[in-house]
């Protein structure tokens, strides 16, 4: 069997869902299980309803509910007009938005929303898109069966970034999804959403439908996992930032994983882990260009000094200086224990003779971390920085790649440089407002047309 995942733009409207149906139809002999995101932009719109309600702005929240209701009803009409399913699905959609409106009223009365409420609100997007897509696929003679993803994706209670419970998911997938495939039908489920063991709706974090797809693929030992999106595959740089980003036809699991972690939004950072455990190849394709080559992510892609560039902003560097203690036994362990105790995860680490610098992605609530760290030495914090990552499996073997990367940044101030433990990712910390310039310069250095001719 294979897993076929469609992102938000790939199910954004009736035309896109029609293309998705064509893609799935062409794969029926490979026993596809389909995972879909919410209609493009729906999750943002839903979360905005939650935010309005939490501020006590009930009218704004209810207007938001009506806008999203109307969009879903329009797409329902475009997709299912005249069919028997149309009224039933329209009634389900409307009932869901009535429920959402009641939730918004309750939150507006409280003037407060918890992460748990935000998950409940966001989950409407994937619940509804998967129902719509399943109903439309049936109209196109695909024997689709809608499955509530929450019956399969068991998670912990870490709302808005819930941790999937791998063994339970595998068991549920065998119980709930496998029989559908074995009977020759096509399961269609929402990505991103899950449920705690005691039945409360959770989400896997923004962009999490990719992760759902790979969790399902691993649970069912899929032959491949296909991620259908709005670009031709994984590119050498973020196409929204760099000019001339090129398609990477094959890339290694470890490289793709690093790129996703350091800003290549095309894949959720956790997508690779379940696939790599079983060596299931992951493909990225463009749903607007279904005949394209796409990107194939496996163990055996060529080892290149530089495969791609990625970058992300909003980075904070925490530096702990302790002249004598740094290399005293147990010092770094104490530092990391403090991070763990405070629930803050470290991204990049660099040590010098007298200090250790660490980057954190989410600096909300690090105050108590800083207080704890100050017991170990002088603590300083730099905010509003960015990370650029130059990723290539053979970057450490190349005599020139690292030097070229640093050289290409020219006059940009560098705060920290680190080569990942796996030796495939050179990360450079720069000022936040220099992020796009840095990505353009690095991409130009390694992937410009002149560089292509030189190779």
Q: Which spans of this chain sit near ligand ASP (rule: CB under 6 A)?
A: 7-8, 37-38, 43, 125, 191-192, 206-210
Smallest separation, CB 207 to Mg ion (Å): 4
Residue 131, binding choice from ligand ASP, Mg ion, ligand ADP, none, Cβ under 5 to 8 Å by partner class: none
Give the burial class of 32: count Cβ atoms within 10 A of its Cβ; 0-12 exposed, 13-18 middle, 19 or more buried.
Answer: buried
Q: How far apart are CA 37 and CA 10, in angstroms?
A: 9
Q: For residues 64 and 207, which CB has a smaller minimum distance to Mg ion in the complex? A: 207
List, in order, residues 6 or more apart from 123 with CB less than 8 Å away: 150, 190, 192, 193, 201, 203
Strand-pair partners of 288: none
Kindly state the helix (H) or strand (E) to which residue 156 belongs, with its residue range: none
Are the CB atoms for 149 and 130 separated by under 8 Å?
A: yes
Residue 264, binding choice from ligand ADP, ligand ASP, Mg ion, none, Cβ under 5 to 8 Å by partner class: ligand ADP
What's the token pair of residue 412?
A: 């940009």
CB-side neighbour CA atoms (13 Å) of 272: 19
Q: For residues 129 and 359, which CB has a smaller minimum distance to Mg ion in the complex? A: 129
Residue 121: count other Cβ atoms within 10 Å of its Cβ: 26
Q: For residues 208 and 233, which CB has a smaller minimum distance to ligand ASP in the complex? A: 208
Among the candidate windows 3-11, 352-360, 396-404, 433-441, which touches ligand ADP by CB under 6 A? 3-11
Q: Scanning residues 112 to 171, which ones bind ligand ADP (CB under 6 A)?
A: none
| Strand boundaries in 52-143, DSSP class E | none
How many residues of this chain bind ligand ADP (CB under 6 A)? 19
Q: For residues 37 and 270, which CB has a smaller minimum distance to ligand ASP in the complex? A: 37
The bridge status of strand 378-391 relative to strand 425-431 is antiparallel
Out of 2, 4, 8, 430, point to the residue binding ligand ADP (CB under 6 A).
8
Q: How far apart are CA 244 and CA 250, in angstroms?
A: 18
Smallest separation, CB 289 to ligand ADP (Å): 13
Strand-pair partners of 425: 391
Which of 212, 175, 173, 219 shows the shortest CA–CA distance to 194?
A: 212
Q: Scanning residues 182 to 241, which ones bind ligand ADP (CB under 6 A)?
A: 207, 229-231, 234-235, 237-240
Q: For residues 37 and 298, which CB has a smaller minimum distance to Mg ion in the complex? A: 37
Residue 317, binding choice from Mg ion, ligand ADP, ligand ASP, none, Cβ under 5 to 8 Å by partner class: none
Q: For residues 12 and 207, which CB has a smaller minimum distance to Mg ion in the complex? A: 207
Q: How far apart are CA 15 and CA 21, in angstroms?
A: 10
Residue 314: count other Cβ atoms within 10 Å of its Cβ: 15
Find the farthest-apart pair of alpha carbons in the chain and give their distance in angstroms, rounded. 77
Are the CB atoms for 167 and 122 separated by under 8 Å?
A: no
Does position 308 bind ligand ADP by CB under 6 A?
yes
How many residues of this chain bind Mg ion (CB under 5 A)? 2
Q: How far apart are CA 451 and CA 447, in angstroms?
A: 6
Q: For residues 297 and 428, which CB has a smaller minimum distance to ligand ASP in the complex? A: 297
Q: For residues 108 and 251, which CB has a smaller minimum distance to ligand ADP in the complex? A: 251
Smallest separation, CB 7 to Mg ion (Å): 5
Residue 10, binding choice from Mg ion, ligand ADP, ligand ASP, none, Cβ under 5 to 8 Å by partner class: ligand ADP
* CA dist list (Å): 219 to 175, 275, 293, 366: 11, 10, 27, 36
Q: State phi, psi for 292 to the nearest 5 degrees.
A: -70, 165
Smallest separation, CB 267 to ligand ASP (Å): 10
Q: For residues 4 and 416, which CB has a smaller minimum distance to ligand ASP in the complex? A: 4
Residue 352: count other Cβ atoms within 10 Å of its Cβ: 11
Among the candidate windows 7-15, 245-253, 367-375, 442-450, which touches Mg ion by CB under 5 A? 7-15
Out of 35, 177, 264, 389, point to the residue binding ligand ADP (CB under 6 A).
264
Residue 38, binding choice from ligand ASP, Mg ion, ligand ADP, none, Cβ under 5 to 8 Å by partner class: ligand ASP
Out of 10, 155, 316, 427, point to the residue binding ligand ADP (CB under 6 A).
10
Smallest separation, CB 210 to ligand ASP (Å): 6
Q: How far apart are CA 268 and CA 279, in angstroms?
A: 18
Which of 380, 319, 391 shows the shortest CA–CA distance to 351?
A: 319
Smallest separation, CB 48 to ligand ASP (Å): 12
Binding mask 198-227 vs Mg ion (x if CB under 5 A, - otherwise)?
Answer: ---------x--------------------
Q: Which residues bind Mg ion (CB under 5 A)?
A: 7, 207
Q: Which residues bind ligand ADP (CB under 6 A)?
A: 7-10, 37, 207, 229-231, 234-235, 237-240, 264-266, 308
């Amino acid at each position: 069997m294979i897993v076929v995942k469609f992102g938000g733009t790939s199910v954004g409207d009736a035309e896109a869902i029609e293309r998705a149906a064509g893609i799935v139809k062409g794969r029926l002999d490979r026993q596809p299980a389909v995972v879909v995101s919410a209609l493009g932009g729906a999750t943002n719109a839903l979360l905005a309803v939650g935010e309005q309600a939490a501020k006590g702005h009930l009218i704004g929240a209810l207007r938001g509910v009506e806008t999203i209701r109307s969009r879903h009803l329009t797409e329902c009409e475009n997709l299912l007009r005249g069919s028997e399913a149309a009224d039933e699905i329209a009634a389900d959609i409307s009932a869901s938005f009535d429920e959402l409106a009641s939730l918004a009223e309750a939150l507006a009365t409280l003037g407060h929303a918890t992460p748990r409420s935000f998950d409940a609100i966001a989950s409407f997007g994937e619940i509804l898109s998967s129902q719509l897509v399943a109903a439309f696929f049936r109209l196109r003679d695909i024997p689709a069966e809608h499955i509530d993803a929450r019956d399969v994706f068991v998670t912990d209670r870490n709302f808005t970034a819930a941790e999937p419970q791998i063994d339970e998911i595998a068991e549920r997938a065998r119980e709930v999804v496998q029989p559908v495939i074995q009977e020759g039908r096509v399961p269609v489920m929402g990505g991103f959403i899950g449920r705690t063991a005691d039945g409360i709706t959770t989400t896997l974090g923004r962009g999490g439908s990719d992760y759902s797809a790979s969790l399902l693929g691993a649970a069912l030992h899929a032959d491949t996992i296909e991620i259908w999106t709005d670009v031709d595959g994984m590119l050498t740089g973020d196409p929204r930032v760099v000019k001339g980003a090129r398609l990477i036809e094959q890339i290694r699991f470890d490289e793709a994983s690093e790129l996703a972690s350091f800003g290549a939004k095309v894949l959720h950072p956790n997508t690779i882990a379940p696939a790599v455990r079983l060596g299931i190849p992951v493909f990225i394709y463009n749903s607007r260009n279904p005949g394209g080559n796409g990107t194939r992510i496996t163990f055996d892609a060529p080892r290149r000094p530089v495969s791609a560039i990625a970058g992300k902003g909003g980075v904070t560097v925490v530096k702990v200086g302790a002249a004598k203690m740094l290399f005293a036994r147990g010092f770094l362990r104490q530092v990391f224990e403090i991070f763990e105790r405070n629930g803050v995860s470290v991204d990049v680490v660099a040590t010098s003779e007298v200090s250790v610098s660490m980057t954190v992605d989410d600096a909300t609530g690090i105050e108590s971390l800083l207080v704890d760290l100050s017991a170990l030495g002088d603590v300083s914090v730099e905010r509003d920085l960015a990370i650029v990552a130059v990723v290539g499996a053979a970057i450490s073997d190349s005599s020139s790649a690292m030097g070229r990367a640093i050289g290409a940044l020219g006059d940009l101030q560098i705060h920290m440089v680190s080569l990942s433990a796996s030796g495939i990712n050179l990360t450079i910390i720069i000022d936040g407002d220099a992020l796009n310039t840095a990505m353009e310069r690095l991409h130009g250095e390694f992937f410009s047309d002149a560089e292509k001719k030189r190779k």
